[in-house]
A and B are shown apart, each in its own frame.
Chain A
Amino acid sequence: MAAPLTLLLIVAVTIRAVLFRSSLAELIPERVEVVSPLNAWKRVVEGLALLDLGVSPYAGDVFHETPLIIYFFHFVIDYAEIVFMVMTRLVGCVFLLQFRKQKYALEAERYPLDCLELIRTPKEMYYIPLKVAMFYLLNPFTILSCVAKSTCGLNNAVIALFILCTVKGSSLMSAIFLALATYQSIYPLTLFAPALLYLLQRLYIPVNWQRSSFWLFTTQYTFMYLGSLCVMVCLSFFLLSSWDFLSSVYGFILSVPDLTPNIGLFWYFFAEMFEHFRLFFICVFQINVFFYTIPLSIKLKEHPIFLIFMQIAIISIFKSYPTVGDIALYMAFLPAWNHLYRFLRNIFLVSVVLLACSALFPVLWHLWIYAGSANSNFYYAITLLFNVAQILLVSDYFYAYLRREHHLTHGLYLKRKDGSEATLVLK
């Protein structure tokens, strides 16, 4: 295991190092698909420059990172490249570790005999962590994001550490990293539910409203989470001694004032929105991210890791300033669900659309912005298609997961009463 991992890391680092030294290193940070106003490296540098000029970085509308980030980079600004590489590698390693645990959970249960082919063999399980790491480290999206020095990589690292701590069962560390992720960009708030479910599952506490042990642990975890979040927010306040960052970071995320094109759904929608409906639609679109948490938690309460995957995917589709780095995070999970492959319905179509869109983004951007021979609708159409493909991908995996669960309990080859082969439908 160590040898392929080392090889993987060397390859990943080499690719990034080469790209950092190439002429692409100036082109990539300007790409709107790779960086958003929230995490562009250019804006971090701008924030630091403002700090040096004695102006609060939040006095303007260019810098939207959290105060901890600015102080973090204040010290490591010279080593930024290395930091980003380390962060990406960290994510890879973290992913590597976290899936070791999962196999036992699957094997421990007893399933009908004919479902044996649905259960992963230990050999397959053995290579899953490596595949996950590879999927993340060698994903072009991750590489682009890293070369652009987007702080999205840091957020991904925090989320990965959170997942690792959760899987390891350390509730305190899990709460701290979840709070850190929430502090960085509000959306990971929705990961609270899966983390809680997983930790409960690990401690063999059933989700039962009457049980006091359930309430005890829930309160405990909530306090740890809220406490560390509070500490971080207060720390930020003491670093800058003003609350400006709240409106400049979270207000900016939630009210979407910057309509710079990106791969998400928000920018063109709110550029074309009628003024008196703006608030209503902002609420609707933002609620969309948080809205699925409760029903998904109920439906997937036995499978918190899959729930985490679903939540991260939903966040990266419906968040206000998505970049390809966010997509890379949930795509890294896909090898972990390779046992669902046989139930996926339109994976071919979706992957083709995703690939085609990724290629068309720069093309249509060029036509609109530089050549002037296309207009904004072209780029907008591609973002729509890209998001439809992502939605189909996620819902396809959800479908496959549910179907597999159904087969695990009811057998793989279902028969009708008259003995003929039955087809399974959603009703």
Chain B
Amino acid sequence: MAAHRCNIFMLVFVLCGLTYVFVRADIEDTNHVKDAESVAVDIARKANIGASLRSTKTEDQTQAAEKERQWEAETNPADAPSDNKADHVHDTMQNLDSRPAPYAKDQTQEAAEEERQWEATEVKEADHVPDTMQTPDVPPPTPAKDQFQEELVIRPLHSGDIYASFQFRTMWDTDFLRGSKVSHYRLFPKSLGQVISKFSVRELHISFTQGYWRTMQWGQPFLPSPPGAELWVWFQDTVTDVDGAWKELTNVLSGIFCASLNFIDSTNTVQPSASFKPLGLGNVTDQRFLRYAVLPREIVCTENLTPWKKLLPCGSKAGLAVLMKSEKLFHSSFHSQALHFRPVCQDWKCKSTVWELRQTLNVVFDLHTSGQGKREWSLFKMFSRTLTEACPLASSSKVYVDVTDNPQGELFELSPTTPLLSQAVVLGDRRTYSVYDLTNQATFGQTRSLNMLLRWRAAESGDMLRPLLHGERYVAGYGLQTGEIHTLMYNNHPYRAFPVLLLDTVPWYLRLYIHTLTVTSKGRDNKPSYIHYQPSKDRLRPHLLEMLVQLPPNSVTEVTMQFERALLKWTEYTPDPNHGFYVGSSVISALVPSVVAMDTNSTRECPLFSSFFPCKEESSYFMRVYTEPLLVNLPTPDFSMPYNVICLTCTVVAVGYGSLYNLLTRTFQVEEPSPGLAKRLANIIRRLRGVPLL
């Protein structure tokens, strides 16, 4: 470059040119050194990961306590995210358009911190077993730019079924917004990272679900999802053509996940005003940058699972992901795989943000089909695999088994036993978990494989606490002309009322009549305090109805609305038109009073000073409930008739035209009777003969 300049400029600039060259070379040198250093650090860290994870019991006790708290903060699934969620929903509920002030967030963060510490002490005091404390085996948070964690939670359900929930979390401190600059991918999947940077995505949530989560039998899922495919995306506020970006993004994601997401178009996309606030950081709540779509008809199967597994750093080669054998996973009553991408805080002080990619897979194995009716579960029975190692790239890899209902082991027997216990407030309920740390070689024992076994002692499992909130939906009416959508929302809390946000997306071909909307609870009219209604446009956009309803304690609130079924063009019907058309689940988002706050006369041994006022930090938690999707029949034309119809209708029009044309162009005349055939023939012969005609 300097040489080039020398050629162009005259000799008088030689001196300047040389100076420039020297300075430039100097800067580049330092850069190289820095790069080399970082690469070296990276390699060293990679090599050290296994060793550092296994290096235990070297730090002193004070440090251990510190680590323990930190660990709690990181692995407690209900803590940091739910704070965030709660924050947002709280915002939504209070004043629907206000933005959270930054200092408010700080306060929440501080409060959460205090709460965590309290919880840690409580664990100590309640259990009185020194062994239950976490061994300080987690390495100090490395300054690495990315890290990966994996965990599996197994929860025996009261129905006898078993619920397994995988979570994989990749955190990466990078800037996706600089366009093509991000080119070095380590743990983060490159295919996804490129999409995110190309379309300036701020948050992306996608889920594929087969089956319906039965809240009344199974309780709350960790991450709710509607049947079919759900996709919602917050774009960066720099995006100008949001609709265009959304269209392209759905097509790209459809390719990545081998799903029919390309069927998402303007007729099933909505922009909810309050129900789907960002779950990550950032205070942009302008719904112009939000797109939400559900495909209730989507069938989830192996071809969706394989690309999903490929996004994991270890693939399905090592770690918890080896359990994901599709023939077992899809032989279940409920299967849901999801992917959540969002910005989160890097540390407690939240000075900088990192990107979090959370891949989750939830599956419920049926007692009778998978377990042959025997109340006995093992990892091998569920997944036809056992665990042999953690993913080498993971900074933490754990298996949790919910033993809340089984404190003394009287309900079921868990083997091998583990000394580690952990407590967490999950969905407003205090749960206890046995923890298996896969990064600890001792977990695998002599056989070098971990195969947990749950064997029930009692034939009956205990009573399940009824879920505080749940929803149902159905279509009433008969015939193919009109109908009525009923949505039932149950508040099972004995004495607390709470508000819920109901979101309904109804396709345009069911023409909703908003004036028929009624909301009743306990036989009385319950007027929603907020209604956002966007009517549909034919073949362009769906109905969107959002409302904020206060659910009285211990009640059922019924929302009804009439609709009319449209007759579509014959090409707009699906290949099996008499199967019906799906209407996506309605979404009920709520800030539900916690169960923990519900038992005021708790017999638990918690400090007396902590339990006088029922309102604690954990007194309410965010919850989202999806109702059943609907299947609605529409009137159909006869699909074999297009030619006939065109011919017949045109004939009628032609009859009209013909008769009017006749009358318009002709005039009345006296009829001259035409001669008969014989006479005409005779006349022809006479003409030939030259005789006068008859």
* B-contact bits for A351-393, CB 8 A (1 contact / 0 none): 0000000000000000011100001110010001001100110
Which chain B residue has the least Cβ–Cβ distance from A63?
B535
Interface string of B613-655 (1 = CB under 8 A from A): 0000000000000000000000111100110011011001101
Asked if A271 is at the interface of the complex by the 8 Å CB criterion, the answer is yes
> How many A-B contacts are there with CB distance less than 8 Å?
163
Which A residues are in CB contact (< 8 Å) with B379?
Answer: none
The 8 Å CB contact of A274, one of B481, B536, B642, B659, is B642
B670 touches A422 (CB 8 A): yes
Contacts of A268 in B (CB 8 A): 637, 645, 649
- Chain A positions within 8 Å of B515 at CB level: 45-46, 48-49
Question: In the docked arrangement, what's the CA distance between A136 and B60, Å?
Answer: 101
B445 at the interface (CB under 8 A from A): no
Q: How far is the CA of A292 from the CA of B664 in the complex (A)?
A: 10
**Minimum C-beta distance from A252 to chain B (A):** 9
The count of residues in chain A whose C-beta lies closer than 8 Å to any C-beta of chain B is 63
- Chain A residues lying within 8 Å of B638, measured Cβ to Cβ, are 272, 375-377
Interface code B547-574, partner A: CB below 8 Å = 1, 0 otherwise?
0000000000000000010111111000
**Considering only CB atoms, which chain A residue lies closest to B664 in the complex?**
A295
Measured between alpha carbons, how far is A147 from B495 in the docked complex, in Å? Answer: 48
Within 8 A of A (CB), among B645-694: 645-646, 648-649, 652-653, 655-657, 659-660, 662-664, 666-671
Q: What residues of A have a CB within 8 angstroms of the CB of B514 in the complex?
A: 46, 49-50, 53
Say yes or no: is A107 at the interface (Cβ < 8 Å to chain B): no
Chain A positions 406 through 427: 1 when the CB is less than 8 Å from some CB of chain B, otherwise 0? 1000000010100000111111
Cα–Cα, bound, A30→B662 (Å)? 39
Assembly CA distance A419 to B667 (angstroms): 22
Given A59-B534, A62-B535, A376 and B636 contact (CB-CB distance below 8 Å): yes
- Within 502-539 of B, Cβ neighbours of A (below 8 Å) are at 508, 511, 513-515, 531, 533-539
Known A55-B534, A369-B481, A398-B660: A288·B568 in contact at CB below 8 Å: no
Given contacts A271-B569, A273-B569, A402-B663, contact A424 B668 (CB under 8 A): yes
Q: Is the CB of B645 within 8 A of A380?
A: yes
Contact A260 B656 (CB under 8 A): no
Complex alpha-carbon distance, A259 and B645, angstroms: 14
Kindly identify which residue among B482, B511, B671 contacts A425, using a CB–CB cutoff of 8 Å.
B671
Min CB distance, A151 to chain B, in Å? 16
B666 / chain A contacts, CB cutoff of 8 Å: 426-427
Q: How far is the CA of A233 from the CA of B564 in the complex (A)?
A: 31
B480 in the interface (beta carbon within 8 A): yes
B531 near A53 (CB under 8 angstroms)? yes
B514 nearest CB neighbor, chain A only: A49
With A45-B515, A285-B653, A398-B660 in contact, is A61–B641 under 8 Å at CB? no
B244 at the interface (CB under 8 A from A): no
From the candidates A53, A275, A376, A424, name the one contacting B669 in the complex (CB within 8 A). A424
CB-defined contacts of A423 to chain B, threshold 8 Å:
670-671
Measured CA separation A46–B561 after assembly (Å):
12
Q: Chain A contacts of B480 at CB under 8 A?
A: 368-370
Q: Are A370 and B539 in contact (CB under 8 A)?
A: no
* A403 at interface by CB-CB < 8 Å: yes
B538 touches A61 (CB 8 A): yes
Closest CB in chain B relative to A182 CB, distance in Å: 23
B478 at the interface (CB under 8 A from A): yes
Interface readout for A56-76 with B: 1 if CB under 8 Å, 0 if not? 000111100000000000000
B513 touches A260 (CB 8 A): no
A270 beta carbon closer than 8 Å to chain B? yes
Q: Mark B328-344, 1 if CB is under 8 A from A, else 0.
A: 00000000000000000
From residue A392, how far is it (CB to closest CB) to chain B in Å? Answer: 7
Q: Does A250 contact B (CB under 8 A)?
A: no
Q: Quick check: is A303 within 8 A (CB to CB) of the other chain? A: no
Q: Is the Cβ of B659 less than 8 Å from the Cβ of A392? A: yes
Q: Tell me the nearest residue of chain B to A60, going by C-beta.
A: B535
B637 touching A60, Cβ below 8 Å: no
Q: Is the CB of A398 within 8 A of B663?
A: yes
- CB-CB under 8 A for A261 and B567, given A50-B535, A369-B481: yes
Report whether B663 and A388 are in contact in the complex, using a CB–CB cutoff of 8 Å. Answer: no
User: Are B513's CB and A42's CB within 8 A?
Assistant: yes
B665, closest chain A residue (CB): A295
Complex alpha-carbon distance, A59 and B544, angstroms: 12
Task: State how many angstroms separate the Cβ of A168 from the closest Cβ of chain B.
Answer: 30
Which of chain B's residues have a CB closer than 8 A to the CB of A46? 513-515
Measured in the bound complex, the distance between the Cα atoms of B564 and A267 in whole Å is 16
A259 touches B568 (CB 8 A): yes
Query: B581 → chain A, closest Cβ, in Å?
Result: 15
Question: What are the residues of chain B within 8 A of A258 when measuring CB–CB?
Answer: 538, 566
User: Is A8 interfacial (CB 8 A cutoff)?
Assistant: no
- By a beta-carbon cutoff of 8 Å, the part of chain A in contact with chain B is 30, 32, 42, 45-46, 48-50, 53, 55, 59-62, 257-261, 265, 267-275, 285, 288, 292, 295-296, 299, 317-318, 368-370, 375-377, 380, 384, 387-388, 391-392, 395, 398-399, 402-403, 406, 414, 416, 422-427
- 8 smallest CB-CB distances across A and B, nearest first, come from A60-B535, A49-B515, A395-B659, A426-B666, A370-B479, A272-B645, A391-B656, A422-B670
Task: Give the A-binding residues of B (Cβ under 8 A).
Answer: 478-482, 508, 511, 513-515, 531, 533-539, 543, 564, 566-571, 635-638, 641-642, 645-646, 648-649, 652-653, 655-657, 659-660, 662-664, 666-671
Q: A45-B515, A425-B670 are in contact. List 4 more A-B contacts (CB 8 A).
A: A260-B566, A271-B570, A370-B478, A377-B638
Pairs A–B under 8 Å by Cβ, sample size 9: A53-B514, A55-B533, A257-B539, A269-B645, A272-B637, A295-B664, A395-B663, A423-B670, A426-B663
